[in-house]
Amino acid sequence: MRTTSVGIFKVATKGPGDVSGLMSMIGSGEIDPTSILAILGKTEGNGGVNDFTREYAVAALCTALAPKLGLSPEAVEQRIAFVMSGGTEGVLSPHITVFTRSEAERPAGLSGKRLSIGMAHTRDFLPEELGRSAQITETAKAVKAAMDDAGITDPADVHFVQIKCPLLTSDRVEAANARGSKTVTTSAYSSMAYSRGASALGVGVALGEIAPDVRDEDVLRRYDLFSRVASTSSGIELMHNVVIVLGSSKASASEFEIGHAVMSDAIDAPAVMSALESVGLGTTPQPGRELVNIFAKAEASPDGNVRGFRHTMLEDTDISSTRHARAAVGGLIAGLAGTGAVYVSGGAEHQGPAGGGPVAVIARLS
């Protein structure tokens, strides 16, 4: 069995096009650009259909990394998994998290499982396949491929599956119509939820959390079907799913551990504490442990209530519910973690129970 070492670097950004922090770390030798496997980021856009900060951030990173890798920017985007989540409402702070991976010898005396990462891509989807069984099935295949890439065999060792998925635009809807096909919705904004939901169900199928006989009509309707580790984000910049699996493996020699919990709603502080405690960072942190980052999903409860009290996130015509949810959950997690530089993504359809969502924590061991 090959042994790999995973590196993680959290870099603050001054704007969606800011690559100076990453380039500085590459210049100093702290990061080997050839070892970069994935970059997850929070950008300060609105997180909606017309949030071009995500595409801008990816373009800036690809352009900056291209000469370092001897590739074209387009080739860089195929080599590295980029997942940009728009929306840094409230105290959330824009940043990127860079994941590297390289071959390594397992140090003598290293016991247990350590953080491992794997990546895979689906094929490109037709517009009419988004939010439907084709996206679910292909995502499930990609999750299994990413697990294999990470050296993870037991689904119980998967703690977070981050997916970037497509959305519909008017041009894409028209292209489907021209072929005599109908898309799941004609609304670009609604398509984000359908794509996120189908992708999350694909994670659940791959990990055995959900039976494989999921139907088209289950998406955004059967909220009793969900994955406890899926995190999906929609974007205009692609037509396939990018899948990143984070979990634990004996094949990893990294200095990091990962754990997770599931928030039952947007104010589930005990779940966040449980996730922190899973890596030794609870109320009384264990010595030699340092927080690297927290990754979480957030959504406005679709029934319009949080613990018996009405919320208005779904009825605000000025601010989308995903922005409300990111601000609320981001504030909760930031307060418990002591930092606003955390990855909180809005829109948690089939990602945890309705109104809740998964929360994963990575710690560095010294």
Q: Does 335 belong to an annotated binding site? A: no
| Ligand-binding site membership of 27 (annotated) | no
Q: Is 87 annotated as a binding residue?
A: no
Q: Please state at what angle helix 321-337 crosses helix 269-277, rounded to 10 degrees.
A: 50
Distance, CA of 342 to CA of 334 (rounded, Å): 7
Residue 364 labeled ligand binder: no
351 known ligand binder: yes
At position 95, the amino acid (one-letter code) is H
The secondary structure element, H or E, covering residue 47 is: none
Task: Report which of 293, 282, 296, 292 is spatially closest to residue 328, judged by C-alpha positions.
Answer: 296
Q: Among all residues, which ones are annotated catalytic?
A: 164, 233
Tokens of 260: 């997770």
With b for 16 or more beta-carbon neighbours within 10 A and e for fewer, the 234-246 pattern comes to bbbbbbbbbbbbb
Contact predicate 64/29, CB 8 Å: no
**Is 208 labelled as part of a ligand binding site?**
no
SS3 assignment, position 200: helix
- Residue corresponding to tokens 């927290």: 294
- Does the annotation list 196 as a binding residue? yes
Instruction: Establish whether 289 is an annotated binding residue.
Output: no
Burial class (CB in 10 A: 0-12, 13-18, 19+), 341: buried
345 marked among binding-site residues: yes
CA dihedral 238, 241, 247, 251 (to 10 degrees): -90
Distance of CA 193 to the CA centre of its chain: 15
Whether residue 346 is annotated as binding a ligand: the answer is yes
| 326 marked as binding residue | yes
Annotated binding site for Mg(2+): 299, 348, 351-353, 356
Annotated binding site for substrate: 54, 85-86, 196, 233-234, 326, 345-346
Annotated binding site: 54, 85-86, 196, 233-234, 299, 326, 345-346, 348, 351-353, 356
